[in-house]
């Protein structure tokens, strides 16, 4: 029964949808029949046929109206209307190509930018890490309690203590990163330094990743003595160094002088904290691991929470352990806390702040886009009032008109959304490069247009359709039909509330744009400050590479001094470095060569020493960054020597030991005195000798983003003790060489390689490149970030200029007649300009003022992304305000010129 009816209804719907013309014809016939009957009746009543027809028609009423109402009954009316609306909307959009283009472009930018940044945010915050139980994986770090913001890794003691005591972890593993020297292969593949990771058993299983080929190290299967002699290599290394050899599993390679068997290949897309690790080796901790001394806290501890345990519970657990450890063995644990952090946060936490800033920026752009287009469409609505009023008078309901306007804006924002997807695809690239090269942002590299990004774009399109259409739809609803229809053509556009709305929109736009400009300006200012700063080195033409020997080759731990490991140093590393230095000095095509124990700027580790001063009977002890350098270092780096001298051939082990300090140290240690000739003792162990300050050099910042110079002390690597107590044993066995070249880079570099292989054939060069590259490796990321923000800010400015232009043009159009009259009665250009200006300048002023206030209130949020620039720095605020004001005024220029050019006679005759 019901089925029959359903089928019938479905048939009817289909018919009304597919053959509306047939239905309309039928309806017309039906009504005609009715009219005919009515006429016949009238004739029967005695009227003449003509009279009868007229009376019948009068009585019958408006057939078009009935037809319309009958059509309304068809239930598919909305589809019909939609079709009509779309066609009509397309026609309207085509008719105003300027509006359409501006609207489309700004929507595409707004929607696309937002989708891209939200996609990236989503990727960073939500995407599941490709590990088993990824949500339970945590990184545990230590931190000095007096410096809670600066986290360190863990010492092996920390690891053992945590492993044995933690009640909230069900698995724990530790890794230690460092370069591994792969020896030259018999087939001629040269020696290479490969970033590697040593991991304790279970580390692979903890991450739950399966090997691409082979297997993971297995302590039970690999005989204990053999267990350490295996290596897992990355997909990249397998491809590049071993040519993707199919028989790679089981091959032997010499790594750090030990022969190891390759037992596995990592999947290509494996990413852990650092992206560039290419080999993994087991780290076997014997039962005496806890008793072994551990210098520093270089280990990264990975743990897995027991099911159901929260981060907070784990943190409480580790707080308790830390407190307990500080009691049990204060010499090693006092003053240190432990922090539990989700693995995701450890991997991506740092990208959050810039991403949120970008997100805020694109959200502002979208907001401006919408206000702008809303303003434009209000203007259009007021211009189209007559058309709309006419349609209303012809029987279109208010709902129908609102729907029509919404359909138009839906078309716009739909097309904008499609373009936006294109922008988003490009934008994702921009965002990911803005945050850094793939190496520093592992999973960001894989971000692409996905369902989420598309969903965001669609959602934004729908929202912006409403934002666009509603204001004008509402404005049309308040319209008074008769006045709209009766008003003369030009005056029909007058609509006071439309003005107020547009004025407010322009104010909002200018304020948003200013906020964005201020943020981008502050970041750009900070960036320029950093890049323009004098680092007191001349990186141009300076080649650099690193050379190093593992500490085990020259140092042997003999005990502890004041809780610090105490090593005996062998002479060989110094001697090898000496030979290398002498050999490199004879390199053709070079001007000078020098070495320094760590990269002087942006070194990953920054060794320090304790400097003790005797002053007026009191001992002043401070920790200062400490570099070992070769003779002529400052000359090669072209660092100005303020007083005294550079290290030179005089400085040998047997001559009086000297040190060179930077200006900041001279100022801070000997304020108001001459540091030259003063004596210091470095806390490097019992064999350290008294050193005289032989020179004062200009400040080389140890970090590129460090604004205030900090003390640094330098000593010759030839004047070093035979034993060392401290955490930086590595500095005695390595050198970062700087080569000031004259010849071309490639030949100098290959000569340098030859020289190094002559002295030490098994030791490859590491981090070869120009100093420029090393200094600015990280800078390109922040440059992209600042550029992305600046692009958004400029877009915002452009959009607000369009808005301002629109309001001004409108004001002029509407007052054309008034202007004409004023011109006739003798008003000069100035009066006309004032007339228009009075309308627009207040809007600009209020917009700027609001924007400045908002920017001042909000800029604190990016304070931690600024270096050496205060969030409320007046210069930036002033500069961007002036720029925005000028651009806004420039936007008014066209309409104002049109106002001046108004020809009174034409205008007056027109009306």
d(CA 583, CA 637): 19
Nearer Cβ to another protein (39/795):
39
State the minimum distance, in angstroms, from the CB of residue 69 to another protein.
4
177 in Cβ contact with 300 (< 8 Å): yes
Q: Quote the CA–CA distance of 299 and 539 in Å, as a whole number.
A: 33
Residue with Cβ nearer another protein (33 or 560): 33
CB of 49 to another protein, least distance (A): 17
Q: Does 83 bind another protein (CB under 8 A)?
A: no
Rule CB under 8 A: choose which of 14, 18, 22, 36 binds another protein. Answer: 36
Least Cβ distance, residue 15 to another protein (angstroms): 10
User: Among all chains, which residue has been given the structure tokens 């770090």?
Assistant: 141
Q: Does residue 44 touch another protein according to CB under 8 A?
A: no
Least separation in angstroms between CB 84 and another protein: 19
Q: State the burial class of residue 584 (Cβ atoms within 10 Å of its Cβ: 0-12, 13-18, 19+).
A: buried
- SS3 for 371-435 is HHHHHHHHHHHHHCHHHHHHHHHCCCCHHHHHHHHHHHHHHHHHHHHHHHHHHHHHHHHHHHHHH
CA dist 775 and 544 (Å) reads 11
Residue 110 CA to residue 464 CA, distance in Å, equals 10
What crossing angle do the helices spanning 779-814 and 829-858 adopt, rounded to 10°? 140
* Cα–Cα distance measured from residue 419 to residue 657, given in angstroms and rounded to the nearest whole number: 69
**286 binds another protein, rule: CB under 8 A:** no
48 binds another protein (CB under 8 A): no
Cβ of residue 397: shortest distance to another protein, in angstroms? 15
Instruction: Verify binding: residue 167, another protein, rule CB under 8 A.
Output: no
3-class secondary-structure state, position 199: strand
Between 75 and 398, name the residue whose CB sits nearer to another protein: 75
Closer residue to another protein, CB minimum distance, 54 or 134: 54
Shortest distance in whole angstroms from residue 34 CB to another protein? 5
3-class secondary-structure state, position 343:
helix
* Residue of 30, 324, 480, 687 interacting with another protein (CB under 8 A): 30
The minimum distance between CB 392 and another protein, in angstroms, equals 20
Q: How far apart are CA 842 and CA 849, in angstroms?
A: 10
Comparing CB distances to another protein, the nearer of 58 and 149 is 58
Within 10 A of 149 (CB to CB), how many other CB atoms are there? 6
22 scored as a contact of another protein (CB under 8 A): no
The C-alpha atoms of residue 687 and residue 557 are separated, in whole angstroms, by: 15
Residue whose CB is less far from another protein, 69 or 291:
69
Three-state SS at 713: strand
Residue of 14, 18, 25, 29 interacting with another protein (CB under 8 A): 29
Query: Would you say 13 or 638 has its CB closer to another protein?
Result: 13
Q: Is residue 514 within 8 Å of residue 363, measured between CB atoms?
A: no
Of 5-13, 94-102, 343-351, 759-767: span binding another protein (CB under 8 A) = 5-13
Backbone φ, ψ for residue 164 (5° rounding): -80, -25
In the numeric block, the tokens 């090693």 are attached to 332
Q: Which one of the spans 10-18, 470-478, 538-546, 595-603 is the region binding another protein (CB under 8 A)?
A: 10-18
Query: What does the per-residue mask of binding to another protein show for 672-711, with x meaning CB under 8 A?
Result: ----------------------------------------
| Helix 352-383 with 385-393: angle, nearest 10 deg | 60
Which listed range, 8-16, 102-110, 121-129, 521-529, lies at the site for another protein (CB under 8 A)? Answer: 8-16
Q: Is residue 670 a contact residue for another protein (CB under 8 A)?
A: no
Q: Which pair of tokens denotes residue 511?
A: 């304020």
User: CB–CB of 737/584 below 8 Å?
Assistant: yes
Radius of gyration of the chain (CA): 39
Q: Please tell me what DSSP assigns to residue 571.
A: S
Which candidate, 623, 621, 583, places its Cα nearest to that of 606?
623
Q: Are 67 and 27 in contact, with CB atoms under 8 Å apart?
A: yes
Q: Is 21 in the site for another protein (CB under 8 A)?
A: no
**Closest of 698, 686, 621, 697 to residue 659, by C-alpha:** 697
- Min CB(401)–another protein separation in Å: 22
The distance of closest approach from Cβ of residue 398 to another protein in the complex, given in angstroms and rounded to an integer, is 20
DSSP letter, residue 377: H
Q: Which is nearer to another protein, 13 or 306 (CB)?
A: 13
Q: Are 856 and 515 in contact (CB under 8 A)?
A: no
Q: Which of 37, 240, 562, 834 binds another protein (CB under 8 A)?
A: 37
Q: Does 78 bind another protein (CB under 8 A)?
A: no
Work out how close the CB of 481 gets to another protein at its nearest, in angstroms, rounded to a whole number.
Answer: 23
Does 478 sit near another protein (CB under 8 A)? no
List the interface residues with another protein, window 58-77 (CB under 8 A).
Answer: 60-61, 65-66, 69-75
Q: CB-wise, 6 or 268, nearer to another protein?
A: 6
Residue 4 as a binder of another protein (CB under 8 A): the answer is yes
Binding site for another protein (CB under 8 A): 1-2, 4-6, 8-9, 12-13, 16, 26-27, 29-31, 33-34, 36-38, 60-61, 65-66, 69-75
């Amino acid at each position: 029964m019901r089925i029959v009816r359903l089928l019938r209804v479905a048939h009817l719907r289909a018919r009304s949808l597919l053959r509306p013309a047939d239905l309309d014809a039928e309806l017309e016939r039906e009504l005609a029949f009715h009219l005919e009957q009515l006429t016949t009746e009238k004739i029967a009543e005695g009227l003449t046929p003509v009279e009868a027809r007229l009376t019948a028609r009068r009585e019958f009423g408006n057939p078009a109206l009935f037809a319309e109402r009958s059509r309304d009954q068809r239930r598919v009316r909305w589809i019909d209307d939609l079709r009509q609306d779309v066609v009509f909307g397309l026609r309207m959009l085509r008719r105003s190509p300027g509006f359409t283009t501006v609207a489309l472009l700004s929507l595409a930018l707004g929607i696309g930018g937002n989708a891209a940044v939200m996609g990236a945010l989503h990727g960073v915050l939500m995407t599941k890490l490709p590990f088993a139980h990824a949500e339970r994986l945590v990184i545990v770090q230590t931190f000095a309690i007096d410096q809670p913001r600066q986290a360190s890794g863990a010492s092996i003691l920390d690891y053992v203590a945590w492993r044995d005591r933690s009640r909230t972890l069900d698995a724990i593993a530790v890794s230690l990163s460092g370069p591994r020297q792969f020896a030259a292969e018999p087939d001629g593949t040269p020696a290479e330094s490969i970033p590697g990771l040593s991991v304790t058993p279970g580390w692979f299983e903890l991450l739950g990743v399966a090997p691409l080929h082979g297997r993971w190290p297995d302590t039970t299967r690999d005989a204990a003595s053999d267990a350490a002699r295996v290596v897992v290599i990355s997909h990249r290394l397998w491809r590049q160094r071993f040519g993707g050899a199919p028989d790679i599993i089981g091959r032997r390679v010499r790594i750090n002088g030990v022969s190891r068997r390759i037992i596995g290949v990592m999947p290509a897309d494996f990413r852990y904290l650092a992206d560039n690790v290419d080999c993994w080796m087991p780290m076997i901790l014997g039962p005496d691991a806890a008793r072994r001394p551990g210098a520093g806290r270089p280990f990264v501890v990975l743990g897995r929470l027991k099911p159901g345990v929260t981060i907070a519970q784990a943190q409480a657990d580790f707080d308790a352990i830390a407190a307990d450890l500080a009691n049990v063995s204060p010499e090693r644990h006092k003053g240190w806390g432990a922090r539990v952090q989700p693995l995701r946060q450890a991997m991506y936490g740092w990208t959050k702040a810039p991403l949120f800033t970008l997100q805020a920026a694109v959200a502002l752009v979208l907001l401006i886009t919408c206000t702008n287009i809303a303003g434009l469409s209000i203007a259009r609505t007021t211009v189209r009032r007559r058309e709309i009023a006419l349609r209303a008078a012809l029987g279109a309901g208010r709902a129908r008109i609102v729907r029509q306007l919404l359909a138009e804006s839906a078309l716009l924002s739909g097309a904008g959304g499609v373009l936006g997807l294109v922008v988003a695809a490009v934008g994702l690239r921009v965002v990911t490069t803005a945050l850094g090269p793939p190496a520093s942002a592992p999973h960001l590299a894989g971000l692409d247009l996905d369902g989420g990004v598309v969903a965001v774009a669609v959602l934004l399109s729908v929202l912006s359709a409403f934002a666009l259409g509603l204001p004008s739809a509402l404005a049309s609803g308040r319209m008074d039909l008769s006045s709209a229809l009766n008003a003369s053509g030009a005056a029909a556009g007058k609509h006071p509330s439309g003005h107020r709305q547009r004025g407010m929109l322009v104010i909002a736009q200018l304020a948003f744009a200013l906020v964005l400009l201020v943020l981008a300006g502050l970041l750009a200012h900070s960036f320029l400050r950093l890049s323009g700063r004098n680092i007191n080195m001349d990186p141009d033409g300076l080649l650099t590479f690193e050379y190093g020997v593992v500490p085990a080759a020259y140092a042997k731990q003999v005990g502890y001094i004041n809780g610090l490991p105490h090593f005996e140093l062998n002479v060989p590393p110094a001697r090898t470095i000496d030979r290398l230095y002498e050999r490199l000095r004879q390199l053709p095509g070079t001007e000078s060569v020098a070495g320094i124990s760590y990269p002087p700027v942006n070194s990953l580790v920054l060794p320090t020493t304790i400097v003790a001063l005797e002053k007026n009977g009191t001992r002043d002890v401070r920790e200062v960054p400490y570099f070992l350098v070769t003779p002529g270092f400052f000359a090669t780096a072209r660092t100005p020597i303020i007083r005294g001298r550079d290290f030179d051939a005089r400085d040998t082990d047997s001559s009086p030991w000297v040190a060179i300090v930077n200006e900041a140290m001279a100022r801070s240690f000997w304020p108001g005195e001459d540091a030259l000739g003063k004596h210091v003792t470095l806390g490097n162990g019992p064999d350290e000798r008294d050193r005289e300050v032989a020179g004062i050099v200009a400040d080389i910042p140890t970090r590129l983003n460090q604004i205030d110079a900090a003390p640094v002390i330098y000593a010759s690597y030839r004047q070093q003790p035979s034993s060392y107590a401290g955490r930086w044993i590595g500095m005695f066995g390595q050198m970062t060489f700087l080569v000031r070249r004259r010849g071309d880079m490639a030949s100098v570099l290959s000569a340098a390689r030859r020289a190094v292989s002559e002295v030490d054939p098994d030791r490859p060069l590491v981090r070869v490149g120009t100093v420029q590259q090393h200094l600015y490796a990280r800078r390109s990321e922040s440059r992209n970030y600042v550029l992305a923000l600046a692009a958004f800010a400029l877009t915002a400015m452009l959009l607000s200029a369009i808005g301002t232009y629109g309001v001004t043009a409108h004001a002029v159009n509407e007052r054309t007649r008034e202007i004409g009259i004023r011109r006739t009665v003798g008003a000069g250009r100035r009066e006309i300009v004032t007339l228009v200006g009075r309308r627009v300048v207040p809007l600009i002023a209020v917009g700027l003022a609001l924007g400045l206030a908002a920017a001042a209130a909000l800029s604190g949020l990016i304070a931690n992304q600024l270096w050496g620039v205060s969030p409320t720095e007046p210069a930036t605020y002033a500069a961007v305000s002036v720029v925005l004001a000028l651009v806004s005024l420039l936007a008014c220029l066209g309409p104002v010129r049109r106002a001046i050019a108004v020809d009174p006679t034409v205008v007056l005759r027109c009306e």
